[in-house]
């Protein structure tokens, strides 16, 4: 029985390690007021990869700007919007 537990634990650890290695940097980069080619981007991107992670300072030093620095598009919240999910403030017992 303990051998089965060790096998399950080993498989779980390996699965977690594999999933952690799948993190992808989905930011988009561009150069402002300058024309560039896909080949230039690929060359600079490859040159700025350090240990599998993109070095932002390296990309910026080559003139690139991250279009979505956080990795995801954020929608600003409207300060005048109201939450009307429960206008009466009471619970309904359906």
The answer to whether position 48 is within a domain reads yes
Is the pLDDT score of 62 beyond 50?
A: yes
The answer to whether position 92 is within a domain reads no
Domain count, the chain: 1
Is the pLDDT score of 71 beyond 60?
A: no
Q: If you average pLDDT over residues 26-54, what whole number do you get?
A: 93
The answer to whether position 82 is within a domain reads no
The answer to whether position 39 is within a domain reads yes
The two structure tokens encoding residue 41:
């981007």
The two structure tokens encoding residue 31:
């150069």
The answer to whether position 59 is within a domain reads yes
The answer to whether position 75 is within a domain reads no
Q: Give dist(CA 29, CA 12) in Å, integer.
A: 36
pLDDT mean across residues, the chain: 75
The answer to whether position 19 is within a domain reads yes
Domain that holds residue 37: 2-66
The answer to whether position 50 is within a domain reads yes
Q: Give dist(CA 23, CA 41) in Å, integer.
A: 21
* Strand duo 49-50 + 29-30: pairing: unpaired
């Amino acid at each position: 029985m303990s051998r089965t537990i060790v096998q399950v634990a080993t498989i779980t650890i390996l699965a977690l390690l594999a999933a952690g290695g799948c993190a992808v940097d989905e930011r988009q980069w561009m150069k402002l007021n300058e024309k560039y080619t896909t080949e230039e981007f690929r060359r600079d991107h490859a040159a700025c990869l350090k240990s599998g992670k993109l070095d932002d300072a390296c990309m910026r030093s080559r003139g690139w700007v991250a279009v979505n620095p956080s990795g995801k598009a954020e929608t600003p919240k409207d300060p005048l919007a109201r939450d009307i999910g429960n206008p009466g403030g009471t619970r309904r017992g359906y």
